[in-house]
Chain A
C-alpha cells in the first residue's frame, strides 16, 4: 500500500531535478528571487502539515518559530564579518534543533486545549512573540530591526546560494514528512486527528506523539526563518512574526490538500510565486491580503479537500473505469 513505489521516487526525482536546474536555466536574479520564496513557503507548508495536517491541530503560532529562527541567526552574527557565504547555513542546523527543543514546553502548555480553542490560543503566541520582539530592544533592537552581515557574493548571482540552501531544506522536510507518513508515528497522528479520545483508549501516547510532531514542525520553521533572515539581510518584528505569513502557510496547505505528502508543496508552489510576481508588478499593496482571503474562501467552498486528493481521486476513478484493475493508492492521504 504505502511502499516506496517507483512512481513516488520518480516523482521526487522529477520535482527536485526541475527545481535544482531552475536557477541555472533562468539565471536572472528576479526569477530566482521569486523561486526562493516559493521554496520557503513550500518548506513552511510541508512543516506545518506535520502538526496541522497529519494531527489536525491548527497551530497558528507556527510562524513564531520562523521568526525566532530568523532572530537567532541574526543575533548570532551581529559582530561577524563573513568571509564565506556558506557558514551561516551551518549555524542554522543547531538553531533548528535548539528551537525544536524550546518548542516542547510551549507544546505542553498549548496542548492542554484542543480544536478551535487550540487554534486561537496558539495564534495568541504569535502576537505575543511580535510584541516581545518589538519591545525587547536590548536584544532585538525593537521595531527598528536588525541586520545580517553581507555575504561576499556577486550581486548578479546573489539569490542562488540561498535558493540552493532552501532547496536542501525542502528536500529534508519532505523526506521527513514522507517518513512520518509511513511510520507508526503517522498512523497515530492520523488516529489522533480522527478521534483523539478513541486513540487514547487504544493506548496511543497522544501527548508525546503530538509533541513530537509539534517540535519537528517548529524546528523546520526555525531553519526556514534562519535562511530567510540571511537572505533578506535585515529583519523587523512585523515581518518575522507576521500574521500574513502565518495565514499564507495555512492557506497553501488547504489549497494543496492537508494531510497529504505533496499537497502542501503543490499549494505553496502555486500561490507563493504568483504572490511574489504580483508584488513585483503591482507594487506591495493591501490587495494581496484580500486575494489570500479570497483564495482560501474559494478553496473551502469548492475544493474542501484540496487539489491533490481531488485530482488523485478523479484519476483513480478514470483508471478504474478504464478497467485497468485494482486501483492501488499512490498518493498517501
Chain B
C-alpha cells in the first residue's frame, strides 16, 4: 500500500512535467488543427540546451529554462513561417506529416551535434531528496512539478486574460469568425506554435533532470504525448493536463508492479479510450455533417 501510494505521488510529480509538454501540443492543435509530432524533438532539444547551459556555461539548470524557452519561442515562430504557413491543400494531414519530418530531422541533428550517448543533467542537488511522512521525494521532481504547474497556470492565465491570448482562443474556436473580427489568424498560428514550442522545451529541461536522455528519446516521447492528447481530447487544454497527470500516475503504478511494461500503461488507456470514446475524455466529436 505504501509502495502504491509512493507510486501515485511520483506519478503525479512527473505527470506535471508531461502536462507542460502536452499543453503545448493542445495549444498547437487549437490554432492549427494539427498534432505536432515534432513537439517530442523540441522537448529533447530543450533538454540538450539545458544540459549545455549547465555543463558549459555553469548556469543552474532551473534558471537556464527561462532563456531556453525564449530562444525556442523564436525557433518555433521561424519553423511555423518556414514549413507550415506555405501549406495549402489538405493542411491537416500534410502538416502532421511535415511535423513527422521535423521530428526525424530533429533526431538527426541532435545525433550529429551531441552524438547518441545518453546524457543526464545532474546539478549538485540532483540526487537529494526530502522525506515527507515516510516518502522520499526527490528535490528535482518536486521543483519540476512546481515549475510545470506554475507555467501551465501561467498559460491558462495568458489564454483567458491577455488580449493576445483571447485572440488565440477566438481563432481556436472559430477561425472564420475570428478572421472577420480582425484577428490575424496566421500570426496567431505563429505565436501559438511558438508558445507550444517554448513550453515543450521548458518541459524538456525538467525532463532532462529527471530522466537520462539521448536523441532517440524523442521517439519514446512521441507515443506518450500522443496518448495524452488523444485521451484528453484534442484541443482541450484541461483535458490534456488531466490526461497527462492520469497517465503519469498510471505508468508510475505499472512501474511499481511490472517495471518492464511501464511504457505500455499509456497505450492500454489509449486503446480503451479509442474503443469507448474516440473523441477523447474531454473532447467533442470532430465530425459533424455540415
Contact = CB atoms under 8 A, between A and B. Distances in A.
Direct contact of A and B (CB under 8 A): yes
Given A124-B270, A135-B261, A60 B100 contact: yes
Given A127-B222, A247-B101, A285-B112, A116 B287 contact: no
A131 B95 CA distance: 27
A109 B287 contact: no
Interface stretch (A169-177, A260-268, A295-303): A295-303
Interface in A294-328: 294, 296-297, 300-301, 304
Contacts of B226: 120-121, 123-124
A117 B287 CA distance: 12
Contact of B274 (A113, A127, A300): A113
A117 to B, nearest CB: 7
B270 A197 contact: no
B93 A58 contact: yes
Contact of A243 (B95, B109, B215, B219): B219
Interface in B206-238: 215, 219-220, 222-223, 226-227, 229-230, 234
A172 to B, nearest CB: 28
Nearest to B278: A112
A124 B35 contact: no
Interface in A53-103: 56, 58, 60
Interface stretch (B46-54, B82-90, B153-161, B175-183): B82-90
B92 A247 contact: no
A109 B270 CA distance: 11
Interface in A111-131: 112-117, 119-121, 123-124, 127-128, 131
Interface string B29-44: 0000111010000000
Contacts of A124: 223, 226-227, 230, 267, 270
B96 A116 contact: yes
B101 A286 contact: no
Contacts of A116: 33-35, 92-93, 95-96
Contact of A297 (B37, B93, B101, B111): B101
A319 B65 CA distance: 61
B286 A110 contact: no
B63 interface: no
Contacts of B96: 58, 116, 119-120
Contact of B93 (A109, A119, A197, A251): A119
A135 B289 CA distance: 44
B247 to A, nearest CB: 13
Nearest to B113: A286
A244 interface: yes
Range of interface residues on chain A? 35 or more
- Name the prevailing secondary structure of the B interface residues: helix
Contacts of B34: 116
Contact of A286 (B94, B100, B107, B227): B107
Nearest to B108: A289
Given A116-B96, A297-B83, A121 B270 contact: yes
A269 interface: no
A197 B94 CA distance: 21
A254 interface: yes
A289 B104 contact: yes
Contacts of A234: none
Interface string A275-294: 00000000001111110111
B287 A197 contact: yes
Nearest to A305: B89
A293 B104 contact: yes
A132 B96 CA distance: 25
Given A117-B234, A121-B274, A243-B219, A296 B260 contact: no
Contact of A287 (B92, B112, B229): B112
Given A116-B33, A120-B37, A243-B104, A290 B112 contact: yes
A148 interface: no
Given A109-B275, A115-B286, A197-B287, A250 B223 contact: no
Interface in A130-160: 131-132, 135
Q: Which of B93, B110, B234, B275 has the most CB of A within 10 A?
A: B93
A113 B226 CA distance: 14
B33 A112 contact: no
Nearest to A248: B104
A56 B234 CA distance: 21
Interface in B245-290: 260-261, 263-264, 267, 270-271, 274-275, 278, 286-287, 289
Contacts of B287: 114, 197
Given A115-B93, A293-B105, 10 more contacts: A60-B100, A113-B286, A120-B229, A121-B226, A124-B226, A131-B223, A131-B263, A250-B100, A285-B111, A296-B98
Interface of A: 56, 58, 60, 109-110, 112-117, 119-121, 123-124, 127-128, 131-132, 135, 197, 243-244, 247, 250-251, 254, 285-290, 292-294, 296-297, 300-301, 304
9 contacts: A58-B93, A119-B35, A120-B37, A120-B226, A123-B222, A286-B109, A286-B116, A287-B112, A290-B109
6 closest A-B pairs by beta carbon, nearest first, are: A289-B108, A286-B111, A293-B105, A127-B223, A293-B101, A290-B108
Interface of B: 33-35, 37, 83, 86-89, 92-98, 100-102, 104-105, 107-112, 116, 215, 219-220, 222-223, 226-227, 229-230, 234, 260-261, 263-264, 267, 270-271, 274-275, 278, 286-287, 289
